[in-house]
Structure 1
């Protein structure tokens, strides 16, 4: 019985890595598009911030969607978990680059809510 549970854990971890990889690939692709728009169209800071928020939601949605498809049950929970891990990795990467959390607590909480909401929505839609 334990061997079967161990294999399930490995499969869950593999699926989670696939979903997070998808989420970060989508995020990277859209960030490149946003950078191109910033360069060509000279977007304002408000538009760039709105774009980044939208990109977080789209990225976590895609990760939650993939995770929901791979797991097949309790999809919204798997999507929520994907959103949480996406946010944690985003926070760790940001902290690793800047050695501090650059945004305020309110912005950080909003980003967290958007990440878990996007992941959960992606899992539910899958």
Structure 2
């Protein structure tokens, strides 16, 4: 494995780490809002989806800045990896996949699009 490949992999991990840090922070804010405002299930679900998109966008934006070429592709890759890690964590916690296939595919599309848009805007 060449030095440029190692650097590319490290950049992906950095961007994923930033995405998950943003996710953790925004989920904490959502939890406080849920506690203070007694939000209903629909608003919480919309908030979670928004958090996924914003986090993937931020990671895609950062990775696009770091890679400097084919930014939208790198953002798309980040969005897909972000989704796969979410899926892996969810499976690890619940020992089953949460939601049906349509919900999973929708989340994949939203994470991928968020990452790609982040890369495009970088």
Q: TM-score, normalised by structure 1?
A: 0.95
Count the aligned residue pairs.
122
Identify the residue that residue 85 of structure 2 maps to in structure 1: 89
- CA RMSD of superposed structures (Å): 0.7
Identify the residue that residue 44 of structure 1 maps to in structure 2: 40
Mapped to 2, the partners of 1:121 and 1:6 lie a distance apart of: 29
1:27 aligns with 2:18: no
Identify the residue that residue 64 of structure 2 maps to in structure 1: 68
Mapped to 1, the partners of 2:2 and 2:87 lie a distance apart of: 29
Query: Greater CA radius of gyration, 1 or 2?
Result: 1
Q: TM-score, normalised by structure 2?
A: 0.98
1:106 aligns with 2:110: no
4+ residue runs over 6 A deviation: none
Q: Which sections of structure 2, spanning at least 5 residues, go unmatched?
A: none
Mapped to 1, the partners of 2:69 and 2:103 lie a distance apart of: 32
1:12 aligns with 2:8: yes
